[in-house]
Structure 1
Amino acid sequence: MPLRMQVISRDEHLVFVAARPSASHTQLPSWGEVKPDWRAESLGWLDEEGRLVGAGLVLYRPLPKLKRYLAYLPEGPLIDWYAPDLGERWLEPMLAHLKRQGAFSVKMGPPVVVRRWSADAVKAAIADPAARRLTDAEATSHDPRALDIAERLRRAGWRQTEPGGEDGFAAGQPRYVCQVPFAGRSLEDIQRGLNQQWRRNIKKAEKAGVKVVRGGYEDLPAFYELYAETAERDRFLPRPLSYFQRMWTALTAEHPDRMRLYLAHHDGDLLAAATMLTVGDHVWYSYGASTARKREVQPNNAMQWRMMTDAHELGAAVYDFRGITDTLDESNHLLGLLRFKAGAGGEAVEYLGEWDFPINRLLHRALEVYMARR
């Protein structure tokens, strides 16, 4: 029997998330406030006894000049993805509700892990000239249930999509991430998991006198100055300062320790800064920024180690470096980022990716054409 769908309150949504071991920060009510160009709605799945058994944050983005919407559930919804009746009991009621709300297309990102590669496996894959992508290397572990979910989604009419940016309609979260497992490990165990270069750089930063401190809302402009420099150097389009100010205000209002800012100084100069997000026992390194000056004092390693230390003190089960490239091509500038994250003892993790359901195929196709031209 299909579950009953209804809009739920912020408090109901937060209570449901708090009872789960892990949930993405993009599935919190506060995330809707970070995205003012989208209309946010908290959805709940109720069983036959009226108990809340699933929840999701839906973001609606209107089509220009039309009251039709792209409905997006980033890294969600939070439901029983392994249920044998996933389509009929869980997803069909959701699609019916979103259609009533005027959605012409639905995008979601099941929080389901397909494969994992240990830090050693990633290192071996990078060194293997025959491996062009992570998927060419043997995974350390894989979950066959994830492939079954993918097949059931395809049969139900869902289409797997490639990840994109988040600007405008190009909504997307990373399919491949790098995570350092913390559960059941002491800080000394985690430190031993750092590679030699990481340990050397942390010591170098300490010897040089790099100081890492926590900042507040008033320090966001200083963070942003470094972030804008990073964007110009690495050739990506930066978000405006107002985005980070809105993010801080919304997330810390929901929980005072949901978002943190870290700043790495050397002799009075700000050299690196980063934001850290926490939901339950999952901690994310969210946005990072650094200057090209004084790289020899290794402020990034010092800052990340402070963040990892604090995350461990918070009781984190995982420290999540977020997105990585799946390419192992030496000519790709993102390979250095993969090396950096795996060097911290991070394992590469492949999620099921994002999936689209075209409710109105004509409008969905028009959106695809529009995005391709952009």
Structure 2
Amino acid sequence: MAVLIAERISLEELSSRAETAGFLQTAFWAKQKASFGWKAEAIRWNRGEKEGVLLILIRSLPAGLSLAYVPGGPPASAGQEDRDSFLVELSMELRGILPLGCFFIRYDLPEYSTFDTLAPVFPDILKKAPLDIQPPDTVVLDLREGYDALLPGMHKKTRYNIRLAAKKGVTVEIAGADRLKEWYELYRITALRDKIGIHPLSYYENLFSLLSDNKQARLKLFLAYSEAELLAGIIVLFHQKEAVYLYGASSNEKRNLMPAYALQSAALQEACRRGCTSYDMFGIPPSEDPDHPMAGLYRFKTGFGGEIRHRPGAWDYPYSRLIYLFYRLLEAARKYYYKSWKKR
């Protein structure tokens, strides 16, 4: 069996594989996270005739400890024939590159199953993380036939709400970073209403700034108005042939005008105009459970049609089992606080 070898490379070299990697494995995402407390490392791995590049984010912790996180990687094609062995070999090889106090590495694996089939699991080699970082479940729309081809696949209520928003005079404007402060005020309202955590305004301003002259990716801010009143707004990333709905905010007022439907309709049309072949809603509950606290989000996003995908979520490879066990307990407590206690 071929030996896996890894070496450091520059962040810019990640761009050479941008065609096959999602936005979480790009140089601009590395720079974004590096601006907010993470150290970004790029590596190239070789295993026989196969090779790839990988973004690793490192977070420093007290007492000289640290953790490593691989967002959206390694790609599903890496070690496809023996994925389990590949991940073990990769983790062991990266141990020599990561800081001495790094006690585990976390992978947000991108492979997925569809609809009612189970997502891949790795119980023998990795430990399922108590807390997922990226949403493991999502719905992705196929844009290759254009916007009009999407309409028959939408739920009839979704089509109705899109028409209703237009009938009630809701208009959508495509804006840039100069309108972020207006949008962020709505985002704060949304966070209070839905009891979710959000980044400071500077986080979103920095991301827009990083992509201001990027040839591979663009961010657009879609704002929905009723006359002069801002009702809702979403941020959509256009990366290569993929569009991703990243962030959404809405007012507590005039929600009956259905501005959220007008926004998604406008974003889908813009994605088609830009030649995107897919639109990722980027996060839904794992199933159509009416008792789930985000059941309304499931109905809203799946109402536009598309393919429901289930990813494995976050999986950990411990380097120090004792320290890792203690960290798991802390993270499980954090999950309970944010997912259960805070939402009471």
Same fold judged by TM-score > 0.5?
Answer: yes
Show the counterpart of 1:154.
123
| Higher alpha-carbon deviation: 254-263 or 332-341 | 254-263
Identify if the C-alpha distance between structure 1 residues 365 and 216 changes in structure 2 by more than 3 Å, giving closer, same or farther.
Answer: same
Paired amino acid for 1:340? F
Deviation (angstroms), 1:241: 0.6
Identify if the C-alpha distance between structure 1 residues 313 and 325 changes in structure 2 by more than 3 Å, giving closer, same or farther.
Answer: same
Show the counterpart of 2:57.
59
Return the alpha-carbon distance in structure 2 between the equivalents of residues 70 and 323 of structure 1: 25
Deviation (angstroms), 1:257: 4.2
**Structure 2 unaligned runs (5+)?**
335-344
Deviation (angstroms), 1:328: 3.5
Query: What pairs up with 1:39-188 in 2 under 5 angstroms?
Result: 39-46=39-46, 53-66=51-64, 68-78=65-75, 80-88=77-85, 91-102=88-99, 103-114=102-113, 116-117=114-115, 139=116, 142=117, 147=120, 150=121, 153-155=122-124, 157-164=125-132, 172-183=133-144, 185-188=145-148
Show the counterpart of 1:17.
18
Show the counterpart of 1:202.
162
Partners of 2:32 and 2:206 within 8 A in 1: yes
TM-score normalized by the length of structure 1: 0.81
Instruction: Please state whether the residue corresponding to 2:211 is helix, strand or coil.
Output: helix
Return the alpha-carbon distance in structure 2 between the equivalents of residues 63 and 234 of structure 1: 30
- Give the counterpart of 1:292 among 249, 252, 257: 252
Paired amino acid for 1:161? A
Partners of 1:81 and 1:112 within 8 A in 2: no
**Structure 1 unaligned runs (5+)?**
118-138, 165-171
Return the alpha-carbon distance in structure 1 between the equivalents of residues 191 and 75 of structure 2: 33
Show the counterpart of 1:33.
31
- The answer to whether the aligner puts 1:350 opposite 2:319 as a matched pair is no
> Where does structure 1 differ by over 6 angstroms across 4 or more consecutive aligned residues?
none
Partners of 2:60 and 2:66 within 8 A in 1: yes
Return the alpha-carbon distance in structure 1 between the equivalents of residues 32 and 17 of structure 2: 21
Return the alpha-carbon distance in structure 1 between the equivalents of residues 216 and 177 of structure 2: 12
Identify if the C-alpha distance between structure 1 residues 182 and 162 changes in structure 2 by more than 3 Å, giving closer, same or farther.
Answer: farther
Return the alpha-carbon distance in structure 2 between the equivalents of residues 291 and 348 of structure 1: 28
Deviations 1:280-333 (A, max 9, x none): 222111100010212222211111100001111222222111111124432333
Return the alpha-carbon distance in structure 1 between the equivalents of residues 291 and 257 of structure 2: 26
Partners of 2:37 and 2:59 within 8 A in 1: yes
Identify if the C-alpha distance between structure 1 residues 316 and 206 changes in structure 2 by more than 3 Å, giving closer, same or farther.
Answer: same
Paired amino acid for 1:368? R
Length, aligned pairs only: 329
